[in-house]
Structure 1
């Protein structure tokens, strides 16, 4: 192995670790939610904001982050954002640990991983050149408008507040107007002329509504209905994670053979089937015969759909817009997570009983998966090349 190959492998590990931090934040929060609510006497409507607020704010400003990365260099922005995230998290945990040793430790776990990535990244990531468009600036006003609009939309869904919904629509409309008029918009609207980009982002948003929203409900179900502890909850979900890892490693071959649209749609349908299998679980759901099959099926669907949607989202844009492309799809996932958690938390209050509320929420999560499957099946179909006219003689 050459020295260059070694650096590339370490760079890949560093970038994968950063993505791992992104995924770990929500999963750690999800498992700890019941304990947080119990210790702080928070209702479920407030608990969902711990996930929705974080995910929506993160997703909204990812659009700005992707644009800044394209303008000022991806290596520089990656290092600065990673160091800012580490300091903020470490500050929160230091204050928490001084008061008591408890669930606050879940906020500390990302810190050592982020520090390791921060140490390795400058050594292995190429510096690159500053793009000529960096002088154009970036659209902070657009980022505030879209993030505020989505946050208010989530609030309106959760609190059933129509004034907040009206303001959310106005802010999102203002975002579109801002993007049309700015010379250097946060999200150039012409990128959505590529049907693949739009469909992939819509499917990714539905994917997150389903799977992250389902995770919120499932964790509460396991701990509040089945009396699982946080430890047994985490261990119980491990088979789903293993199914995701194994299937994701096979996804590339399936995509090469069947195409992005078919694999993504199949994954969304399988994911939805896993969610709907939770309808079999009652007040005393057996793990081996009821919960485990549902978790494994859901994991298989995740492992097929998530890589497919990410590939489709970035493949439709040129290299100089890859920061925007990755920011868009990651934002779609985070915003979808916030919306999904809010909607499913609202569904849990319906049905007349606790168990009925959970079942309605599981049905809604399955519906989100179906929407994502339809978006992938019809929006990610390979485009046939235009016919070439026969030469005239």
Structure 2
């Protein structure tokens, strides 16, 4: 599972641009120069026509620098949901702008802290005149950006969970920013009160769309966690080689060596799990649900452990506000809960294996 030459070139270009442009200012050059927002969007809709492995390269690099860019929420969740819905009219109308970065999208899905489709309580009822629905409900943990142009909402109709396009500025739509532990990834709460929505795909098939999109998002998020954990380890190894205690670098002490070695094993194990999910998404979609559940569980726990070791091995400076260690630790916590905690994905995996065994 070695990266292609094109993927290595993509990684180099992304790292260079992310080093040159900091924070939110990086989105325009990334989308304009390397097409970051449309890597997995088909060429017919203005994208690069790549796959999950290309997205994995992007997400690893974004994770390394704790980038606040909206790629997970817009390029993976929103664009992915449009593609999975099979709604050609909506794809043709919305995807080109999402792919070139001139528009940013959000998928409003979670309720009561859960991404399970059973938790969807937002209600969509047919509106006057037909062809439209009126949606009422509250959506939590929606990945946020300063300007949202495309809003997709999961809501329940008489036929089951369905997916709708809702204008962000429409009547009955309100967005509330929320305070999160991880301040590098903004989230919002969306409140809908009779907001008009256009059905995407087939009424009642939204649950199937969301399951597929969650697997793709877990795969992308796992790659981000690997990139961030790898950077944590790099910074810690560098510090252990420079910090002198009792007349020698602390990295020369056997106990510190063991802890760094254990962290290295965690990073590489997580990388394997994330790679497995990305290859499944591209080559064996039937295996993706299991591979994505494994990747999200393994990578969440690995990142949390390595970020914790980063703080411990840095000592006093690791708990200061000025050092980046706390930012990685907070991202590890937030990413671990996003799209469901590791225990949830292990339960998904166990249930799937149980069904397969019967």
Taking structure 1 as the reference length, what is the TM-score of the superposition?
0.36
Structure with the higher fraction of residues in helix conformation: 1
Taking structure 2 as the reference length, what is the TM-score of the superposition?
0.38
For CA contacts below 8 A with separation 6 or more, give which structure has more relative contact order: 1
